Amino acid sequence: MTDLGGRVAIVTGGGRGIGRGIALALSSAGATVVVSGRTRETLDDACAEIRSRGGEAHAIVADVRELADAERLVAETVTHAGRLDILVNNAQTYRHALLLDATEDDLDATFRSGPYAVFRLMRIAHPHLAASGHGVIVNFGSGAQLMHDGRMYAVYAAAKSAIESLTRYAAVEWGGDGIRALMVMPAAESDGTKAFRERDPERYAEMVGRVPMGRFGDPEHDIGVAIAWLVSDEARFITGSTVMLDGGQMFTR
Active-site amino acid positions: 156
Of 219, 69, 234, nearest in space to 136 by CA = 234
Separation in Å, CA 97 to CA 30, 103, 124, 147, 231: 41, 9, 32, 15, 34
Burial of 150 (0-12, 13-18, 19+ CB in 10 A): middle
Separation in Å, CA 5 to CA 32, 170, 188: 8, 25, 26
Of 251, 183, 250, 246, nearest in space to 217 by CA = 246
Q: How long is the chain?
A: 253
Dihedral of alpha carbons 232, 248, 242, 66, sign: negative
